[in-house]
């Protein structure tokens, strides 16, 4: 039956689509960076803040008042502390630690405990902002990253999901992110997924 044959062929193609997409993009595990590799001087870790339940911030929140913002919960505080412990054990010692001005990002960076935290406004959230503002901020952040000395790191930036996605094209769970390997000797910039830190 020709009609049935065409239907079966169509179903076979549809069934293959996820496999083809996976082959083009590659499973995340193939692009993950190991914790031990973070100690390289040309590595920049762009981390999403630890667990802070909710989306966005309450209406009328103020950056100068943590009580008006969405903040880390107990799991997030434990997650950040464990992340710091595991990174220290792996030899990751960032020469600079930058954070968004949001309290959940600064708290994550401080609880990780790998050095003084400097607020960098280019890491601030633009959740709900218009495209021109978002694009301008990401372009400036990208230029800042391009200017980092690949021999002077490693570096750590703590920011938000929207910033990581716009900058790298990768999503990030709380406590996870992307490691950017800064170019050395003419090599291209490479991005690899940094899995989220778990909490038992």
- Decide if pLDDT at 11 tops 50: no
Residues 104/71, Cβ–Cβ less than 8 Å? yes
Query: Do residues 37 and 20 share a domain?
Result: no
The position carrying tokens 């890491």 is 123
pLDDT level of residue 197 (50, 70, 90 thresholds): confident
Query: Could you tell me the pTM of the whole model?
Result: 0.82
Residue 55's pLDDT band (cuts 50, 70, 90):
confident
Considering the domain architecture, whether residues 132 and 93 belong to the same structural domain is answered as yes
pLDDT tens profile 108-163: 999 999 999 999 999 999 988 888 999 999 999 999 999 999 999 999 999 999 99
Do 125 and 110 fall within a single domain?
A: yes
Domain holding 94: CATH number?
A: 3.40.50.1240
Burial of 170 (0-12, 13-18, 19+ CB in 10 A): middle
How confident is residue 16, by pLDDT bands cut at 50, 70 and 90? very low
Q: Does residue 93 belong to any structural domain of this protein?
A: yes
Radius of gyration of the chain (CA): 20
pLDDT at 22: 28
102 and 182 both lie in a single domain:
yes
The residue segments making up the domain with residue 10 are 1-28
């Amino acid at each position: 039956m020709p009609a049935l044959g065409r239907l079966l062929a169509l179903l076979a193609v549809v069934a293959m689509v996820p496999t083809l997409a996976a082959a083009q993009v590659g499973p995340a595990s193939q692009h993950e960076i190991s914790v031990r590799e973070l100690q390289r001087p040309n590595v920049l870790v762009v981390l999403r803040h630890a667990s802070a339940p909710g989306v966005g911030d309450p209406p009328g929140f103020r950056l100068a008042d943590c009580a008006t913002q969405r903040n880390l919960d107990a799991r997030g505080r434990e997650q950040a502390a464990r992340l710091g412990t595991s990174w220290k054990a792996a030899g990751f010692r960032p020469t600079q630690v930058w954070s968004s001005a949001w309290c959940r990002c600064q708290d994550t960076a401080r609880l990780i405990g790998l050095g003084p935290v400097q607020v960098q406004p280019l890491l601030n959230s633009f959740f709900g902002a218009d495209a021109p503002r978002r694009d301008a901020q990401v372009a400036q952040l990208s230029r800042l990253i391009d200017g980092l000395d690949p021999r002077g790191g490693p570096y750590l930036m703590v920011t938000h999901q929207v910033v990581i996605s716009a900058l790298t094209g990768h999503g990030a769970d709380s406590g996870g992110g992307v490691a950017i390997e800064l170019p050395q000797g003419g090599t291209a910039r490479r991005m690899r997924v940094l899995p989220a830190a778990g909490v038992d």
